[in-house]
A and B are shown apart, each in its own frame.
Chain A
Amino acid sequence: MNLVAGLDFSILPQQLANGLLLGAIYALIALGYTMVYGVLRLINFAHGEVFMLGSYAALFTSWALGFTPEALKNGAEKPSSWMVLALMLVVSMVVCGLIGVVIERLAYRPMRNQPRIASLITAIGVSLFLQYAGGLFLPQSPPPAISEQVNPYRKDSDNVRLTLKDAPAALKAQAKLLDAEAGKAEAAYRASEQQDPPGHTTAATEDLRQKYQTLERSAQKVEGEVNGQSVKLNIPFGQLIMLITTIVLMLILRHIVMYTRTGRAMRAVSHDFDSASLMGIDVNNVVTVTFLIGSALAGAGAMMYATFLRTNLTPFLGVTPGVKAFVAAVLGGIGNIPGAALGGILMGVVETLVIWLGFSGYKDAVAFVVLIAVLLFRPGGLLGSSKVEKV
């Protein structure tokens, strides 16, 4: 009872939305795992590292287009456009797709007829190799700095907002007034600060700073009251783009798998590898295409992860999302494309709900507990029954 009493139900809708957005990322990466597994019955541990390389591909593309950190620091900020972003996305997808194919050709194909655990060890080896070799040659870097226009966190006004329950108008008006005053005070203070010699603060600036802080504090107090009395939904613009892109990519994938020749071949190979090859399907070709598509999806995810979510890039960046996505894939029933999407979103929502319940320290553990619980009741994952077409 205590647990429920401490909860703030007014933020529940927002938390669910947060979970959905988080889950979309997991889902996109999980697709790659699940496709490869469906065709080869191989857990491609190197998928997270392909993802990492994709974010670097996006970074280098942005550098090549002139958005280097130095250029931005020197104030020559180029207007970034949708074209730039699209180009980064395409380059990242292509690079990742090719890397995936090369990995398959060099490391996995020779293992095709060997015990599955041997291919698993090879996958672990490839994953370690890419991490540590990347550590030798790839720079640590802040995220690609192009996204002034689409950065989800810079422009408040671009966010999608929904008000489910509003606070009293008088309170809102008061908050607005105070906010404006605080903004003015801050502007005055910052202006004064700019004129100070570097490293020193004059008494006048200090005075302005004090004034601004007092105002800001009272503004926040009222703002907090407004927040407490209203129920709002706020979806960052960049994440909305991500969500839409993810859905579009999934629909394209579904189209390929269900309604094209290649897709049919993929399904056949997934259903029965040997029979498919006996029926004249070029199995090698299908596997290559699977790796191409799965890795390209990781590339798309990586580009958006780096650019829209502003993640600092390191060669070890792929590990955590890789594991989470793998769990999502298994949760949904590995080898099953809708399952990966469902598993990813479920993971995101569960994680956020655990945070909402006040156990943020245990959120990752709970994700695994849910996974184990689901597997105990449905050993094949949520959608992993044989009725659903596997790829």
Chain B
Amino acid sequence: MKFWGVRLLSFVLAFGFVYGLDVVTQTAFPNLYRLAVLAGLYVTLAVSLNLINGITGQFSIGHAAFYMIGAYAAGFVSQHMYASQPLGPVLWLVVMMAVGAVFAAIAGIVVGLPSLRLRGDYLAIVTLGFGEIMRIVVQNVDPLGGAYGLNVKPFGEPPKILWLVWLLAVLCIAVCRNLLKTSHGLPFIAVREDEVASAAMGVKTSSVKVTAFVIGSAFAGAAGALLAHSETFISPDTFKMDVSFIILTMVVLGGTGSITGSIMAAVALFAIPEWLRTMQVMIPGSSIVAGILAVGIMVSGFRWVQNNYHESVSKRIGAYLACVVGAAVAAVVLSFVLAFIPQLAQQRLDVAMLRMVIFSMVLIILMLLRPQGVFAHHEFSWDWLSKVLRARKGVTA
């Protein structure tokens, strides 16, 4: 019975962790509460998409559609049925998560089926199109609030559900991790590595692909249900194509197939724009252009060092530092030069308004410098880190 003991212990630990997180956030950082909720949802979304894209190797770029279906299904049911049933809020939320997950899973089957015939970019466009279809349908259906959106306030006040959100995230992580670490996951990885070969080896590729879609979309749907209740308002705008792209970016940036990578990338990519929102410094347009150019110079310098400068670690770090210093100097010089262009110099902009520009630059730069994602296929662990660091010491490029 050791097996169940471990299970129980890990469950208790997970529950303790998320509950502690909730309480600490509520008391110590109340301003960050909602952001922590959203970050948890993004973690769930990224990890569940990672199951489809990273682990099974399918190409879905419409994950927001499942998120949306879960949110609308749960929101609609909740709004109309909460009053006429005996469950308390917490249990009700769990039921709603199930509702969101079921609806999204059905959608997952619908989208997963074409994946049996389609590959790569064609599958991508189908998933993207599915998202658009859902958005348009919601816009046209009055009971769902049309283009305006749906109020979801069954409890009156927005419930404090950070712990539930992170519990879902932990559950999602656990499912994906166990899939990777046990024999159940091997077919998924086999399909990713070579579909034809794995079919030849007796892997039921179609059921594997559909399963990946169903599990992935069910988690996204459950996340949607929680979003609807914690935000108390959802609208088609909440699930724009950009959201799908951002989730996809989280997966790729973290390293396709790496669960820890997805988690960290999700938190980081969610936090960057929110952190930039707090920057309130006015700078002239000329400096912005100079800054963008200087970053470009720095990145090309980095790339040059990466590819052509195979010296010892300390020398390479020196070279990287030289790039940074050079870029800083270039930024200063350029902003003086560009200040002579009146149109640029007169335009003063808040850094907070630049957040999407900075966000997109971070994206491009990270991809240029580390295209396989921060963690590539690996999982983050201290062993892995020390191995990487040790490998770095070796001169080989």
Contacts and interface: CB of A to CB of B under 8 A. Distances in A.
Interface of A: 37, 43, 106-107, 110-111, 114-122, 124-126, 128-129, 131-133, 135-137, 323, 326-327, 330, 334, 361-362, 364-365, 368-369, 371-372, 375-376, 379-381
Contacts of A362: 136-137, 140
Given A136-B285, A375-B126, A128 B356 contact: yes
Given A118-B252, A132-B357, A371-B129, A110 B363 contact: no
B368 A111 contact: yes
A4 B288 CA distance: 59
A261 B286 CA distance: 44
Given A124-B363, A330-B125, A115 B357 contact: no
Contacts of B139: 361
Given A375-B118, A379-B122, A132 B253 contact: no
Task: Give the dominant DSSP class at A's interface.
Answer: helix
A361 B141 CA distance: 10
Contacts of A121: 248-249, 252-253, 363, 367
Task: Give the dominant DSSP class at B's interface.
Answer: helix
A212 B130 CA distance: 51
A115 B114 contact: no
A43 B59 CA distance: 13
- Among A110, A115, A121, A327, find the residue whose CB has the most chain B CB atoms closer than 10 A: A121
B28 to A, nearest CB: 34
Contacts of B285: 136-137
A108 B124 CA distance: 20
B296 A372 contact: no
14 contacts: A114-B372, A115-B256, A119-B371, A128-B360, A131-B356, A136-B354, A330-B122, A361-B136, A361-B140, A368-B133, A371-B129, A372-B130, A375-B126, A379-B122
B360 A132 contact: yes
In the complex, the 4 A-B pairs of residues with the closest C-beta atoms, listed nearest first: A368-B129, A125-B363, A114-B371, A128-B360
A126 B364 contact: yes
A358 B153 CA distance: 35
A361 B126 CA distance: 21
A227 to B, nearest CB: 29
A115 B371 contact: yes
Contact of B125 (A119, A131, A135, A327): A327
A129 B252 contact: no
Contact of A124 (B133, B136, B249): B249
A323 B140 CA distance: 21
Contact of B367 (A111, A128, A372, A376): A111
Nearest to A45: B245
Contact of A372 (B120, B126, B249): B126
A380 B120 CA distance: 11
Given A120-B252, A327-B125, A334-B122, 19 more contacts: A43-B121, A115-B372, A118-B252, A122-B363, A122-B364, A124-B248, A125-B249, A125-B364, A128-B356, A128-B359, A128-B360, A136-B285, A323-B132, A361-B140, A364-B132, A365-B137, A371-B126, A372-B129, A379-B119
A133 B357 contact: yes
B273 to A, nearest CB: 11
A330 B121 contact: yes
Contacts of A369: 133
A128 B272 CA distance: 15
B117 interface: yes
Contacts of B120: 116
B256 A110 contact: no
Nearest to A368: B129
B332 interface: no
Contacts of A120: 252
B136 A117 contact: no
Contacts of A106: 296
Contacts of A114: 371-372
A131 B99 CA distance: 37
B34 interface: no
Contacts of A376: 114, 117-118
Nearest to A113: B371
Interface in B349-370: 349, 353-354, 356-357, 359-361, 363-364, 367-368
B241 interface: yes
A142 B248 CA distance: 35
B391 interface: no
